[in-house]
Every structure is written in structure tokens, then in C-alpha cells.
Structure 1
């Protein structure tokens, strides 16, 4: 198994080898032995659970793999607070989701019983639904070979940036985001529960968030900071999913995984002209706290 961390430069420029060869060794020898929490037996709300076959749960394995990458990068950091920040900002944040006995990816498991949990299902997005044909999956470029006639000596400034991992956000959602997301889906009670809709793409609020998450994913994947992907999951992915999956008040609150119900956006009425500016008063609108009156500019253009 190949390590998920890259070697870096330590003090004096010497290469720093990873402490653990892969994320499984990292989990077994460092991470899991230091997680000491009370595990639920019967009551599941606001408690923790665990599964000894954590590696069989892809949402858990993905998080622990990125925790390993971030750990190795943190070891190479010269900042005195780096490890403290890693523990509170990465380990704690990930394990609040991993161990959530009520709604998390292990909610059906106990410390003694492994129960597989399917990831979120989805219906294929109709062709050209978002106005452009879906791009084909990006091909991995062939290994570059030195050409004595064209090789410029390895100038990094002339190298093209690598192609995105996913050609568009729909591929990202179907091939990475949803397969790595497994939660408890609400039955009757909706408060504090999660729900889902297989036709997620018909919910504008969901599609916009997923598109933004795709851009963040591609940036984190190529960031020089190797804690970026772990941070992306806990600071972007998790907050967005909490809003999207909120069964009580979120954009899918009328849906179930196999039952789509359209939910309109907030209604509005257009404010009357000069509502935010008093005629005859020279005080700029922005000084009144409302910001520029762009409606007036539009009227001039017309």
C-alpha cells in the first residue's frame, strides 16, 4: 500500500520520511489508540458509536486517509501550534462526524457488530440539463518523456497545470461526493434528522452548493498545503451537507430518497422606486446603510 503523504523538507533541507507508510498503519498505531470516548450501547442521540471494521465504510476510510496526509504535513511544520491545530481542527472535527451514533456513517454499527451502510443514491442527471453537454471523464496524461529537441530544462513556469480530477461538478457528485457520504435517513420524525433526494439536480440550492464544493475540491487536491483536503472536508463539505440534508428545514425537507417534491425559493415583491432613498435628499444611499441604488443606474441605462 502506498503512503498518502509525500516526503518533504525538514530542518536544514533534509528530507523527512513519513512516520507511517500508509493510512491504515497510521490509524492502528497512532490515531485510534488516542481516541478515548464513551461509546453508545442503546441510546443513540448525542452519543458516539464505532465499528472495528471501519475500513469497510468508505466515508470513514476517506476521512482517515486525509487525516494521515494532514498528520504527516503537520509533523513537518515548524509552527509550534501546528499539532494542536491539527488535533482540534482536523481530528476532533472529523470524529464528530465519524462517531455520530444518531446520524453518522456508523450509526447502524456497534463496537461489536458491523452493519454495511449504502451511500446516498442518485438518479442520472439528464443530458444537457445544466445548459452544456457533460464533459467526458478526464484522461490521465501519459508520463512525460524528455525530448532533447524540445526540453527546456524543466522550467516549472512553463509546465501546464494538471487537468481537473473531474470534468464537471456532476461527475464530482456522482463519482466522489455521494459515494463517500453515508448517513441515517429520516423515517417519520424530521427534527434533527437527515433526508435526501435522488433527483438532487432539480433543487437549485443543492446544485449550486455542489458546484461550489467541486471547485473547492479541485483546489484542495492541488494545494501545496497537504492539510488542505482534510480541512476542505470539515470546513466546507460537512457544513454544506448539514444544510442540504436537514430533514426538518433544509432544501430537501419535502423529499425522500425515492420521492422528489419541488420546493420553491423564497417569494418576493419588488420594492417601489426610491424606497431606499428619499427624493430631494442628497445623502448617498450607501451612507444610509442600504448600499448603492443600482435600480437608479438601470433606469438611466434604459
Structure 2
């Protein structure tokens, strides 16, 4: 996990260490916090896969939610409200979407792997002018 040093709400002094994460990993966050707090009627327009950890997009989104939660918990009065409105709600809407989410092919207690987005390789020199390319300076 990246350090929270330099982020709003926490400024280290010479002897201070960054706050330790509340959860040790994304699985602990999902099983002990998110799952008990997100109690939705699955069916209709929502679905979930109990093997969420087999879905690359889900792992990325849930890890992002966890990291955002770890940051927002240190923000005081409105931190959790910001997390729910600007992080949890949008990500959970995508994750739980029966039609378009990463679990769309799964059935209750039955994991089905989705397919990668189709990709065609870019032309050989397309990324040469990228702002992130190594310029040797």
C-alpha cells in the first residue's frame, strides 16, 4: 500500500510515522467491512460473485475502494460521507450491475470468468511522443 504521507489530513513530523492501515489487505476489507455494510437484494438488476477475487476488474475496484476508505477514515467529520458518495456508490453500482459489471456472467455460488476487452496492437511508433516515455534526461 502506498504511504498516506503528504495527503490531506496528515502531515508527518520528523519522528512521526504514517498511520497504519486499519485492514491488512483487500480481502479483510471486503469480508469484514464491505460485505456486512452492503446488504442489497441480489437479483433483478444486481449480482455478486462470492469468488470476487477471481475477477481482475473487481480486485482493482475493491482495492481502490479499500485504499480510498483508509484515506477517508483519517479525514474527520465528512470523510466517510465522501467515501460513500464519491467512491463506494459509483464502484458498487458498476460491480453489482447484472448487465455490465464484472460479475454479469456469474450465477449465485457459480463463478464464470468474463472475457478480456478485445485489443488490437497500436502502430509501432505511436507511443514515442508519450509524456511518460523515457526521454533519457
State TM-score, norm by structure 1.
Answer: 0.37
Q: Take 2:99 and 2:63, find their aligned partners in 1: how far apart are those partners?
A: 23
Change (3 A) 1:233 1:271: same
Matched, 1:182 2:34: no
What is the match of residue 46 of structure 2?
194
Deviation at 1:293, TM superposition (A): 9.4
| Structure 2 unaligned spans of 5+ | 1-11
Matched, 1:217 2:61: no
Deviation at 1:266, TM superposition (A): 0.4
Question: Partner of 1:184: helix, strand, or coil?
Answer: coil
Deviation at 1:257, TM superposition (A): 2.6
Q: Take 2:121 and 2:55, find their aligned partners in 1: how far apart are those partners?
A: 24
| Structure 1 unaligned spans of 5+ | 1-155, 188-192, 278-284, 298-302
What is the match of residue 271 of structure 1?
122
Q: Take 1:259 and 1:269, find their aligned partners in 2: how far apart are those partners?
A: 31
Per-residue Cα deviation, 1:180-207 (whole angstroms, up to 9, x for no partner): 11112125xxxxx011100000000000
Per-residue Cα deviation, 1:272-294 (whole angstroms, up to 9, x for no partner): 324x49xxxxxxx75xxxx4695
The correspondence of residues 162-177 of structure 1 with structure 2, limited to 5 A, is 162-177=19-34
Q: Take 1:167 and 1:213, find their aligned partners in 2: how far apart are those partners?
A: 14
Q: RMSD over aligned Cα, in angstroms?
A: 2.3
Structure number with higher relative contact order (C-alpha < 8 Å, ≥ 6 residues apart)? 2
Q: Larger C-alpha radius of gyration, 1 or 2?
A: 1
Q: Take 1:199 and 1:227, find their aligned partners in 2: how far apart are those partners?
A: 32
What is the match of residue 280 of structure 1?
none
Q: How many residues align?
A: 122
Question: Partner of 1:242: helix, strand, or coil?
Answer: helix
Per-residue Cα deviation, 1:8-66 (whole angstroms, up to 9, x for no partner): xxxxxxxxxxxxxxxxxxxxxxxxxxxxxxxxxxxxxxxxxxxxxxxxxxxxxxxxxxx
